[in-house]
A and B are shown apart, each in its own frame.
Chain A
Amino acid sequence: MKSKKLVIKDGNIIDPSSRTNCIGDLVIENNLIIDLIPNSNQTYSDEYEIINAKNMIVSPGFIDVHTHLRDPGQEWKETISTGSRSAAKGGFTTITSMPNTIPALDNANIVNDLVNRSKTDAIIRILPIGSITIGQNGVNLSPMNELAEAGVIGFSDDGNPVSDSNIMKQALTYSLYSDLPIINHAEDKKIVGKGLMNEGIVSNRLGLFGADSSAETVMIARDLILAESIGAKLHIPHISSSSSLHLLEIYKNMGLNVTAEVTPHHLTLNENWVYGKKGEVPDYIDEDSYDTNTKVNPPLRTISDANDMTKGLSEGIIDIIATDHAPHSDIEKHCSFADAAHGINVLETAFSSVFDLYLKKSISMDRIIESLTSRPAEIFKLNKIGGLKKGYNADVVVIDPKAKWKVERHKFVSKSSNTPLLETNMNAKILVTIYDGKVIYKDGNYNV
Chain B
Amino acid sequence: MNTTNNKSLLDVDQLSEVDIQNIMNEADKLSNDNIESTKKYNSGKSVLTLFYENSTRTRTSFELAAKKLGADVINISLGSSSVKKGESLLNTVKTLEAMQFDLIIVRHSDAGAPYFISRNIDIPVINAGDGLHAHPTQTLLDVYTIQKKLGTLKNKKISIIGDILHSRVARSNILGFSKLGANVYINSPKTLSLFKNKFFEGENSLVNFVDDIDHAIENADVIMPLRIQLERQEQGNIPSLREYSKYWGINEEKIKIAKNNVMIMHPGPVNEGVEISSSLVHGDKSQINLQVKHGLFIRMAIIKTILSEANK
The smallest beta-carbon distance between A306 and chain B, in angstroms, is: 16
Contact A336 B13 (CB under 8 A): no
Chain B interface SS verdict (over half): loop
Contact A206 B133 (CB under 8 A): yes
What are the residues of chain A within 8 A of B90 when measuring CB–CB? 334-335
Q: Which of B54-62, B67-75, B115-123 contacts A (4 or more CB under 8 A)?
A: B115-123
The smallest beta-carbon distance between B286 and chain A, in angstroms, is: 28
What are the residues of chain B within 8 A of A287 when measuring CB–CB? 6, 10, 115-116, 118-119
Q: Which of A80-88, A195-203, A410-418, A420-428 contacts B (4 or more CB under 8 A)?
A: A195-203
What are the residues of chain A within 8 A of B110 when measuring CB–CB? 336-339
Contacts A206-B133, A336-B108, A338-B111: A285 and B10 contacting too (C-beta < 8 A)? yes
B196 within 8 A of A: yes
Contact B196 A206 (CB under 8 A): no
Q: How far is the CA of A335 from the CA of B116 in the complex (A)?
A: 7
Contact B4 A284 (CB under 8 A): yes
The smallest beta-carbon distance between B198 and chain A, in angstroms, is: 5
Q: How many B residues touch A, CB cutoff 8 Å?
A: 35
A residues 198-222 touching B (CB-CB < 8 Å) = 199-201, 203-210, 212
A290 within 8 A of B: yes
Contact B113 A208 (CB under 8 A): no
Residue of B nearest to A291 (CB): B112
Contacts A281-B201, A287-B118, A339-B110: A204 and B88 contacting too (C-beta < 8 A)? no
B275 within 8 A of A: no
What are the residues of chain B within 8 A of A337 when measuring CB–CB? 110-112
Contact A284 B131 (CB under 8 A): no
Q: How far is the CA of A199 from the CA of B131 in the complex (A)?
A: 16
Q: How far is the CA of A210 from the CA of B118 in the complex (A)?
A: 24
The smallest beta-carbon distance between B77 and chain A, in angstroms, is: 18
What are the residues of chain B within 8 A of A289 when measuring CB–CB? 112, 115
The smallest beta-carbon distance between B274 and chain A, in angstroms, is: 23
Q: How far is the CA of A212 from the CA of B165 in the complex (A)?
A: 14
Contact B112 A284 (CB under 8 A): no
8 closest residue pairs by CB, A with B: A207-B133, A290-B112, A207-B132, A284-B13, A336-B110, A287-B119, A207-B111, A338-B110
> Can you list 18 A-B contacts (CB < 8 A)?
A201-B195, A201-B200, A201-B201, A203-B195, A204-B198, A205-B199, A206-B133, A207-B130, A281-B201, A284-B4, A286-B4, A286-B14, A287-B118, A335-B89, A335-B116, A336-B111, A338-B109, A339-B110
Interface residues of B (CB under 8 A from A): 4, 6, 10-11, 13-14, 84, 88-90, 108-113, 115-116, 118-119, 130-134, 168, 171, 194-196, 198-201, 235
